[in-house]
Amino acid sequence: MRKLIALELVSVDGVMEAPEEWAFSYSDDEMNEANASGMAASDALLLGRVTYEGLAAFWPNQPGGDPMVDYINSVPKLVVSTTLEEPLEWNNSTLIKGNVVDEITDLKRQRGKDITIIGSAVLVRSLLRDGLLDELRLMVHPVVLGSERRLFEDGGDREVLELA
């Protein structure tokens, strides 16, 4: 069975979405190795609408030849949205519009490598709540960003996770 793995860049205070490009200033060899390892183990990306739209506006316009560019533009992208319509413009993108729990459960049963989810805070919280997320990998950056979008909202339910 395939695993569904969320790979998230977060600040010390749990912020994962902020207006400026804060996370990339902390990119180093260790982070690049983690990204390369994740790419090698994954043959699909799962994305929420907002993350998909942001990535689709950027990555197709990047020159090929870089492993990250080539991977993200060629890998199948599964997009969860109730508002987007097919066909999706970015190469290898498929819309998941029906029952997300059933669709993800079916995807995990299929043969293949792991499925990686990046960004997509609302979707990650939903998958965690529904017991569909197998791993949550956090790359915590040494910065406090304040009151932007957090991976976990204030006042949310308690989630007990297992350290792996």
State the pLDDT at residue 36.
73
Is 164 within a domain? Answer: no
Answer whether residue 156 is part of any domain: no
Could you tell me which of 163, 160, 140 has the C-alpha nearest to residue 151?
A: 140
pLDDT digits (tens, 9 = 90+) for 52-104: 999 999 999 999 998 889 999 999 999 999 999 999 999 999 999 889 999 99
Which domain range does residue 93 map to? 4-150
Mean local confidence (pLDDT), 110-138:
94
Residue 44 is part of a domain; what is its CATH number?
Answer: 3.40.430.10
- The confidence score (pLDDT) of residue 158 equals 80
Q: Quick one: pLDDT at residue 19?
A: 66
- Does the residue 159 lie in any domain? no
Distance CA 5, CA 13 (A): 21
Q: Which is higher by pLDDT, 34 or 111?
A: 111
Whole-structure pTM value: 0.89
Of residues 96 and 18, the one with the higher pLDDT is: 96
In a domain, 122, yes or no: yes
pLDDT at 18 over 80: no
- Total domains in the fold of the chain: 1
Examine residue 86 and state whether it is found in any structural domain, yes or no. Answer: yes
Q: Considering the domain boundaries, does residue 155 fall inside one?
A: no
Q: What is the pLDDT of residue 23?
A: 67
User: Is 146 within the bounds of a domain?
Assistant: yes
Would you say residue 71 lies in a domain?
Answer: yes
CB 48 within 8 Å of CB 81: yes
Buried b (16+ CB within 10 A) or exposed e, 112-145: eebbbbbbbbebbbbbbeeebbbebeeeebebeb
